[in-house]
Amino acid sequence: MAFAAATGVMPLDMPESILVRFKGKRQPGVTLRDLVHAIPYYAIQKGLLTVEKSGKKNAFSGRVLEIEGLEDLTVEQAFELSDASAERSAAGCTITLSEDSVSEYLKSNITLLKWMIANGYGDKRTIERRILAMEEWLADPSLMRADADAEYAEVIEIDLEQLKEPVLCAPNDPDDARLLSEVAGQSIDEVFIGSCMTNIGHFRAAGKLLEKQPAGSLKTKLWLAPPTKMDQHQLTEEGYYGIYGRAGARMEMPGCSLCMGNQARVAAKSTVVSTSTRNFPNRLGDGADVFLASAELAAVAAVEGRLPSVDEYRRYMGEFDAMAGEIYRYMNFHEIEEYQKAASNVIPVAQEA
């Protein structure tokens, strides 16, 4: 800081990048979380990552993870990939998205920010500046893209046509990525669906599955923690909290919950399926063995009491896919009447510098 203050410049070393390029069409039953885990899975196959701690190799460490080929994702979905870059020990993460995806996200956020002003959140001037900056971008959108001749430390290409089943991370290492067929049949004691790796669609999917089960028939202890209070409110309005209660699920306060490791805890030495970001030893519970998986697979494991076979999983996913339009709707605040109404009365004012 002293150097910057004295000279007016701050020299920084720009880390190298690793490009992860997805290509092809995602196969039925393969979720976005599976693509998250496909990155370490393919890195292991390519010799860029090892699970063994002795002589550990991790090509991602200290480098920027650049992801291409998933431009049609929503920004909410993109967070699921970028959040997991921390588990790769990456210095940062970028994802190329379409202009439409970014525009929709900003429109939603403008409505949310106006709703916040209408409800007395502060600092009003700071929020107004953010709204105006977003509106300025929407008036003349521009997205950064890698140069055509950009150089990368490594390039990992993942053919979605070849990825035909879920990918999990085995206990207790987020680098230990394995196909479902390698771990199917494992008995499961507890299931956690929550953390920043989930969104409201995941909880609807879990609710649709739980709704079909007899009350109190779960074969596991199921923990549910929506990431935000807004998700909790919307799920309550749609009747899902009633479904969770009848199924016997334990509802946690919105936020990190078990993922944080210092709030609720799973039973000691239990075997768990979790949607959390990481499964380091003893993080969710003392001596617990924790598999990381998608919310959909976690919900199936909660009902079955074990990791299903690939065929069993696909049957469940067929039911989810049939209801996809109803389940996988995101919190687009500019399309929700409650937020639209409050936002309509807010007109941000430009402040003098």
- pLDDT at residue 352, as a whole number: 60
DSSP string, 60-75: TTTSEEEEES-TTS-H
Query: So what's the pLDDT on residue 351?
Result: 65
Boundary of a domain, candidates 114, 134, 159: 159
| CA atoms lying within 13 Å on the CB side of residue 342 | 17
Same domain, 110 and 244: no
Write down the pLDDT at residue 26.
Answer: 95
Same domain assignment for residues 81 and 113: no
Contacts of 80 by beta carbon, 8 Å cutoff, 6+ apart: 32, 33, 36, 197, 199
Q: What is the mean pLDDT of the chain?
A: 94
pTM summary value = 0.91
Looking at the DSSP assignment, which residues form a beta bridge with residue 92?
64
Give the CA count within 13 Å in the CB-facing half-sphere of 157.
Answer: 4
User: Residue 315 to residues 208, 234, 278, 295: CA-CA distances in angstroms?
Assistant: 14, 28, 28, 16
Q: Are residues 190 and 280 in the same domain?
A: yes
Is residue 75 a part of any domain in this protein?
yes
Is pLDDT above 80 for 60? yes
Residue 279 lies in a domain: yes
Q: Tell me how many domains the chain contains.
A: 3
> Based on the domain organization, do 320 and 303 belong to the same domain?
yes
Evaluate whether residue 345 is within a structural domain.
Answer: no
d(CA 27, CA 163): 7
DSSP three-state, residue 47: coil
Residue type at 81 in one-letter notation: L
Same domain, 196 and 231: yes
Given the DSSP bridges, would you call strands 289-292 and 271-274 parallel, antiparallel or unpaired?
parallel
Q: Give the residues across from 179 on adjacent strands.
A: 167
Is 9 a domain residue?
Answer: no
Residue 123 lies in a domain: yes
Residues 233 and 154 grouped into a single domain: no
- What's the pLDDT tens digit per position in 98-153? 999 999 999 999 999 999 999 998 889 999 999 999 999 999 999 999 999 999 99
Q: 192: part of which helix (H) or strand (E)?
A: strand 190-194
Is residue 155 domain-shared with residue 40, that is, in the same domain? yes
CATH number of the structural domain spanning residue 69: 3.40.1060.10
What percent of the chain stands above pLDDT 70? 99
My answer on whether 196 and 239 are in the same domain is yes
Do 70 and 91 belong together in one domain? yes
Q: Which amino acid is at 199?
A: N
Residues 199 and 93 in one domain: no
Asked, for residue 349, whether it belongs to a domain, the answer is no
Please indicate, yes or no, whether residues 223 and 108 belong to a single structural domain of this protein.
no
E strands present in 28-116: 64-68, 92-95
Q: Distances in Å between the alpha carbon of 350 and those of 128, 137, 297?
A: 7, 15, 48
Q: Are residues 34 and 69 in the same domain?
A: yes
Interatomic CA distance for residues 216 and 146, integer angstroms: 52
Question: Which domain, by its residues, includes 116?
Answer: 100-142
Stretch among 65-74, 118-127, 232-241 having the lowest mean pLDDT:
118-127
